[in-house]
Structure 1
Amino acid sequence: MDFVDVEHYDPYNDTWARTCPAVKYVTNFTATACHGKLYVIGSCAVKYNALTLQCYNPVIDGWSIICSPFIPKYLSSPRCVSVEGLIYLIADNTKKVYCYDPLANMWQKVG
């Protein structure tokens, strides 16, 4: 697959429109907004044991792959939420919780 279609919803006009395509196709993914950007965390279609972190920046209408130290391994049914500028990643197949700081580009395990 050469690109991944992405659409956004405009609630004021009740319409959908295409957005710049994502860089990588991912499955088993979760998404959240943080610092005005959209973060998508999911399994790369080629490597099911590795997660990929992608970021959409609406200011430049572009996606980027974020390479970060200690990105967690594959998680079943991941879910994430942004709280006070940090992204928390949770999986239902483990009791592990990870925290990503977009400004520092660092992951850490939450106790």
Structure 2
Amino acid sequence: MLKTVLLILTLTEDGATRVTLTESDSPADCEASRDVVTQILTGAGNAPLAALCGETGLRLTPFVHGTPPEAETNLYRVELPKSGGFTIAPLAEGEACAPDTAADPAVWCARSGQSVLPNG
């Protein structure tokens, strides 16, 4: 079952890409959250690389503020087509990911403290 989610890509202090995925009740709620989160991140000097609302069947554990970098052990491949939307998939242990942000779709390899939930 697809859910509306907010996908955020940001740069970490060490230059890695971080992904967060947060469920929303509706597309309108997602857009409102996107606007607020983008303002907060930009105001803090860490404007998002991408902030998109969309649908996915992937379920992740809730995002927790202040997760230390060493706890961001989950790796994901995120694709952003120029036509809009996104896809996100977990990477298996040892699975390679080659970022190519100039391609269509752009490919981002990102880490997260959020892990895949069962049936996610």
Q: Give the TM interval when normalised to the shorter protein.
A: under 0.3
Structure with the bigger percentage of strand: 1
Which has more radius of gyration? 1
TM-score by length of structure 1 reads: 0.27
What is the TM-score when the length of structure 2 is the normalising length? 0.25
